[in-house]
Amino acid sequence: MILINLLPEEYRQKRRTPVKLLLAISASVAVNGSLLAWWSWTAFGVAAEVKSELSVLQDEKVGLDPQVAYHQELDKESKLFEAREEMLKKITATRISWTRKFDELIDVVNVGGDGEKYLVWFDDVTVDQKESARSKTYGSLKAMGHSGSSSLAHVANFLDDVERSPFCEDFNKPSPPEGSQSQKDEGLLPSEVWTFPLEAQLKAPEERQRGADGKLLPAQAKPKTDKPKAGGKKK
């Protein structure tokens, strides 16, 4: 049935918004407002907090930069000193103490006594410390020696003692005995003299390395390399 309201406009009952619709709109506005507030806090509040922390950290970094730079300089100096110390150790381990070498040679000369075993003296000593990779030489000691005896066996005895002495720890085996005999002169003591050369070649540096106690260290063996045979290939 169709109802027609014939009352004047001012007396007609006004329509109200349904309660359910009003509640739905209110809930939607509340949710959107909460989301907007949360986004605003995230976008501005957290950003401001992060900026504040960043500023504090930057201030701390500025204060720590000089200490970091100082630490890096100390680290560089420490590495430099370590490299120098290592180099000095290598030099000390392979260097020759010529004062000690001459003392050891003199000790061997004194072993001969007054001529019972041998009577030896020197009038010329030359030290050469030049290394040659081509000829594999590392220096030498050369001396012109004299034996106050008519027998070359005394020279051989002296060279044998030199070879067995600490003097030869840094040298290879000396040259075999040889020399020339001077003419006999009864007015001199001794009356007969054998003149002979003493020559000893230095060992390779790795064979004469010494520890802190001054004793020789075990020689480091060099790796062997297999040489290919003629007409063949190296395996």
pLDDT band at 14; cut points 50, 70, 90: low
Q: What is the pLDDT of residue 221?
A: 47
Q: How far is CA 31 from CA 34, 38, 95, in A?
A: 5, 11, 88
DSSP state of 209: -
Tokens coding 177: 């005995």
Q: Contact at 8 Å (CB) between 223 and 212? A: no
Query: In the prediction, which pLDDT does 234 show?
Result: 46
Asked if residue 181 lies in contact with residue 198, where contact means CB atoms within 8 angstroms, the answer is: no
What are the residues whose beta carbons fall under 8 Å from the beta carbon of 146, sequence distance 6 or more? 120, 121, 122, 123, 193, 194, 195, 196
Q: E strand or H helix at 107, and its extent?
A: helix 98-111
Q: What is the pTM of this model?
A: 0.52
CB of 158 within 8 A of CB of 196? Answer: no
Q: Are 170 and 144 in contact (CB under 8 A)?
A: no
Instruction: Indicate the helix (H) or strand (E) that contains 101.
Output: helix 98-111
Radius of gyration of the chain (CA): 50
Mean pLDDT of 76-81: 91
Asked if 174 contacts 200 with a C-beta cutoff of 8 angstroms, the reply is: yes
Structure confidence at residue 56 (pLDDT): 86
Dist. CA 115–CA 144, nearest whole Å: 18
Q: How far is Cα 164 from Cα 107, in angstroms, rounded to an integer?
A: 12
Q: Which amino acid is at 113?
A: G
Q: How many helices (H) and strands (E) in the chain?
A: 4, 4
Q: How far is CA 32 from the centre of its chain?
A: 69
pLDDT above 80: residue 23: no
Say which residues have a Cβ less than 8 Å from residue 149's Cβ, sequence separation at least 6. Answer: 115, 118, 119, 155, 190, 192, 194
Percent of the chain residues topping a pLDDT of 90: 10
Most confident stretch, 100-104, 205-209, 212-216: 100-104
